Amino acid sequence: MLLYAAIILMMLGLYGILTQRNIIKIIISLNILEIGLNIFIISIGFVNGGVAPIFTGQNNLGSIGFVDPLPQALVLTAIVIGVGTTALGLALAKKIYAKYGTFEIDDMKGAE
């Protein structure tokens, strides 16, 4: 179920990037795409009825399944990178606004 939600989010993000003509909306679509991907990665490591992958006296008996910890570590890295990209995109959006006075790509005069 989580998998389908993730794929729907990714498709929404991709649709937004392809159709929107507003800088801020494109950045938001990019974020939706990233979040969809992150949920997708998390869902890969999901185990039904699993517990957090931490060794304690209670749950290292072997009878309880751990969820896969690696996708969670990957997502942590991917989130950080996503934040960096978003910050850079917003900084560029500010520069674009200072230069053209608008966020709409179609209204920008002299831009190629």
Q: Which of 17, 64, 101, 107 binds other proteins (CB under 8 A)?
A: 17
Q: How far is the CB of 58 from other proteins (least distance, A)?
A: 25
Residue whose structure tokens are 């900084």 = 91
Residue whose structure tokens are 């929107």 = 20
DSSP state of 59: T
Dihedral sign (CA 38, 44, 49, 54) = negative
Dihedral sign (CA 16, 21, 25, 30) = positive
Q: 22-51 mask for other proteins (x: CB under 8 A)?
A: -x--x---x--xx--x--xx--x-------
Contact between residue 66 and residue 50 where contact means Cβ atoms under 8 Å apart: yes
Q: Which of 9, 32, 39, 71 binds other proteins (CB under 8 A)?
A: 71
Q: Is 101 helix (H, G, I), strand (E, B) or coil?
A: coil
Q: 72-101 mask for other proteins (x: CB under 8 A)?
A: --x--xx--x--xx--xx--xx-xx--xx-
Residues forming the site for other proteins (CB under 8 A)? 10, 14, 17, 23, 26, 30, 33-34, 37, 40-41, 44, 70-71, 74, 77-78, 81, 84-85, 88-89, 92-93, 95-96, 99-100, 105, 108, 111-112
